[in-house]
Amino acid sequence: MMKRRTWVITAGAGAALLGGGLAWRQHRPAALSEPAQAFWSAAFERPEGGQLSMRELAGRPLLLNFWATWCAPCVKEMPELDQFQREFQAKGWSVLGLAVDSAAPVREFLKKLPVGFPIALAGLTGLELTRKLGNLQGGLPFSVAFDRSGEISWRKLGPTNLAELRLLGGTGG
């Protein structure tokens, strides 16, 4: 009788530990992919001075757009990115423009066409970052969406349009 009781208690304790371990595995945050980790650990200069750490934008959906002042399709999509920011900011979305450019042309561009989302400078090293994030051709514009957990959820090489951005925003990141 005593052996049976010990066995039942041991089996019950083992089942409880197993169940607890499985629950912990399901609720712990998953490790981010290497490209996502590289992005979230980065910081970029702002055209007006200072730095913007990507960690400041973590925890909510993010639409990241790589662009340049000399890229006509990039310039054309800026008002639609700005409109997306206005429409989906209340739903938690952020937009970030990373300019594959230098500070002076970006400052001049933003005087002519200001936007309501942050712009930072990726410089020419930005093209390497776009490749890490899935832009194997290295072309511009290139957009990437990150979900709330910080993982890449969408990519697009070439200009976006407001209709597809609205669909993206409706997914909630």
What's 34-170's CATH class?
alpha beta
Q: Which residues pair with 97 in a beta bridge?
A: 65, 119
The residue ranges of every structural domain in the chain are 1-28, 34-170
Contact assessment for residue 88 and residue 169, using Cβ atoms and an 8 Å cutoff: yes
2, 3, 173: which is closest to 88 by C-alpha? 173
Please tell me the number of Cα atoms within 13 Å of 2 on its side-chain side: 0
Reading across the β-sheet that carries 119-121, which strands appear in turn? 51-53, 43-45, 119-121, 94-99, 62-67, 142-146, 152-157
Amino acid found at 141? P
Rg value, the chain, Cα? 22
What is the reported pTM? 0.82
Q: For residue 73, give the H/E element and its range.
A: helix 72-88
What is the C-alpha to C-alpha distance for residues 97 and 144, in angstroms, rounded to an integer? 11
pLDDT in tens, the chain (173 residues): 656 555 555 555 455 545 555 444 444 456 999 999 999 999 999 999 999 999 999 999 999 999 999 999 999 999 999 999 999 999 999 999 999 999 999 999 999 999 999 999 999 888 899 999 999 999 999 999 999 999 999 999 999 999 999 999 988 66
| Strand ranges for the chain from DSSP E | 43-45, 51-53, 62-67, 94-99, 119-121, 142-146, 152-157
